[in-house]
């Protein structure tokens, strides 16, 4: 009888864990700064973290890096429910089109904008690849230099375009107001992006391409699934299972790093600014979709790093680089579960992953190198 009740308790707990994961809205976000550092970006990041979003942060990318970042973000958007972009930098207008300027923009004539900058519509198309769409939030800043004839700073959000997410444009100096409004809406148990956009455009410094005609709800995830306890007639507690939520998005993309140093074709096109964005369709490749996982029950510090024979940092870097994409995703997932990593779980190691490894190493009083030792790799992967 005792065994039967224990099994019932275990079976009851498993569907609840799976249901909690299925109901959790998966969010991917890009926080992009092409101008000088703005502290409002840190506030945005904190709000995104409270929503359990996978966040890619990029500072001062050049034209090639900016294209690579957007292509990577578009690939990630396909496997998520909501995609958000927060961009801070000069927004320039040429004809009827608006462009986000990269850090290395060098305009000698108007047509240079077509080959060097990114159309805001390309960002909006990338966000639209998510299952429930997304939104683009842009704080436009002054370029700080004279503009060629025919180019001006954008004053209003672009007109609505087919296949794009809404674009909100804030004038210079509105970044903190945008961050504060986003934080206020993110404080409850759920937030409605449509209502957020509506509240923002009630202020004179914001305009939007359009407001979605349906709610776009983001429910804040619960940190822990309730414990299921089954008791026998004599009050013995059995079948107790603790399960914590983990982000289950698994994204496989071409090689690179999460500091966006992959160079993509710079040739601009009329619709996407040189970006061959993925189509909205599920992938059939086995390596692009991983089964949902629940958090590991064992602690990451169960192993003893001091017991291993030290290897040169170059050798450890080579071992880490040689890990499979699946193993790298596992490490990112584990680092995320213990609160050190908030970036994309895509098996691409760069600045964000390195910073997470360093934070983890500090927490276990290990040498802080940003590169995993053999024992640390084994602890994450086994």
* 23-41 tens-digit pLDDT: 678 899 999 998 777 888 9
4 by DSSP, 3-state: which? helix
Q: Are 282 and 129 spatial neighbours (Cβ–Cβ below 8 Å)?
A: no
* Residue 157 predicted with pLDDT over 70: yes
Compute CA distances 113 → 98, 141, 144, whole Å. Answer: 10, 16, 16
% residues pLDDT > 90 (the chain): 36
Instruction: Give pLDDT, residue 278.
Output: 55
Instruction: Give pLDDT, residue 346.
Output: 82
Summarize pLDDT for 249-285 with one digit per residue, the tens.
333 333 445 544 333 333 333 444 556 565 544 444 4
Q: Please tell me which residue, 294 or 121, carries the higher pLDDT value.
A: 121
% residues pLDDT > 70 (the chain): 70
Instruction: Give pLDDT, residue 129.
Output: 93
Instruction: Give pLDDT, residue 146.
Output: 87
* Residue 73 predicted with pLDDT over 60: yes
Write the DSSP symbol of residue 324. -
- Token duo for residue 15: 């569907």
- Token duo for residue 275: 């970006």
pLDDT class for 70, splitting at 50, 70, 90? very high
Q: Are 129 and 77 spatial neighbours (Cβ–Cβ below 8 Å)?
A: yes
Compute CA distances 245 → 325, 356, 381, whole Å. Answer: 22, 19, 19
Instruction: Give pLDDT, residue 276.
Output: 58
Averaged pLDDT of the chain: 76
Q: What are the residue ranges spanned by the domains of the chain?
A: 2-17+221-244, 25-219, 296-381
Summarize pLDDT for 201-246 with one digit per residue, the tens.
999 999 999 999 888 888 877 654 444 444 444 433 333 333 333 3
- Range 121-149 average pLDDT: 92
Which CATH number is 296-381 given? 1.10.101
What residues form DSSP beta bridges with 30? 56, 85
- Range 154-174 average pLDDT: 93
Query: pTM, whole model, 2 decimals?
Result: 0.65
| b/e map 133-153, b = 16+ CB within 10 Å | bbbbbbbbbebeeebeeebeb
Torsion of CA 244, 348, 77, 272, to 10 degrees: 170
Instruction: Give pLDDT, residue 15.
Output: 44
Fold of domain 25-219: Rossmann fold (3.40.50)
Q: Please tell me which residue, 11 or 325, carries the higher pLDDT value.
A: 325
pLDDT class for 344, splitting at 50, 70, 90? confident
Instruction: Give pLDDT, residue 277.
Output: 60
Compute CA distances 339 → 86, 136, 186, whole Å. Answer: 22, 26, 19
Give the number of residues written for the chain: 382
Torsion of CA 319, 324, 328, 331, to 10 degrees: -80
């Amino acid at each position: 009888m005792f065994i039967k009740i224990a099994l019932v308790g275990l079976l009851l707990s498993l569907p609840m864990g799976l249901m909690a994961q299925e109901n959790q809205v998966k969010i991917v976000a890009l926080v992009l700064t092409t101008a000088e550092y703005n502290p409002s970006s840190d506030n945005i990041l904190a709000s995104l973290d409270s929503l359990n979003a996978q966040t890619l942060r990029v500072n001062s990318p050049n034209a090639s890096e900016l294209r690579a970042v957007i292509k990577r973000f578009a690939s990630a958007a396909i496997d998520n429910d909501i995609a958000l972009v927060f961009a801070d930098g000069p927004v320039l207008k040429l004809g009827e089109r608006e462009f986000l300027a990269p850090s290395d923009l060098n305009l000698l004539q108007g047509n240079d904008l077509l080959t060097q900058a990114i159309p805001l519509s390309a960002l909006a198309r990338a966000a639209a690849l998510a299952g429930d769409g997304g939104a683009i939030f842009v704080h436009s800043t002054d370029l700080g230099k004279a503009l060629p004839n025919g180019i001006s700073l954008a004053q209003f959000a672009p007109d609505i375009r087919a296949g794009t997410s809404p674009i909100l444009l804030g004038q210079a100096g509105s970044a903190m107001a945008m961050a504060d409004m986003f934080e206020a809406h993110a404080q409850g148990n759920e937030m409605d992006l449509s209502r957020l956009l509506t509240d923002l455009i009630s202020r004179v410094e914001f305009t939007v391409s359009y407001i979605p005609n349906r709610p776009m709800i983001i429910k804040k995830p619960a940190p822990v699934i309730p414990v299921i306890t089954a008791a026998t007639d004599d009050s013995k507690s059995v079948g107790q299972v603790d399960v914590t939520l983990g982000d289950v998005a698994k994204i496989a993309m071409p090689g690179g790093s999460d500091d966006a140093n992959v160079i993509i074709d710079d040739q601009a096109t009329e619709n996407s600014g040189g970006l061959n964005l993925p189509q909205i369709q599920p992938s059939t490749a086995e390596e692009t979709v991983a089964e949902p996982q629940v958090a590991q029950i064992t602690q990451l510090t169960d192993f003893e790093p001091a017991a291993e024979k030290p290897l040169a940092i170059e050798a450890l870097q080579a071992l880490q680089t040689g890990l499979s994409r699946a193993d790298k995703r596992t490490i990112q997932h584990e680092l995320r579960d213990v609160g050190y990593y908030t970036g994309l779980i895509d098996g691409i190691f760069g600045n964000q992953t390195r910073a997470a490894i360093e934070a983890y190493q500090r927490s276990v009083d290990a040498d802080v190198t940003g590169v995993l030792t053999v024992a640390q790799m084994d602890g994450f992967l086994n």
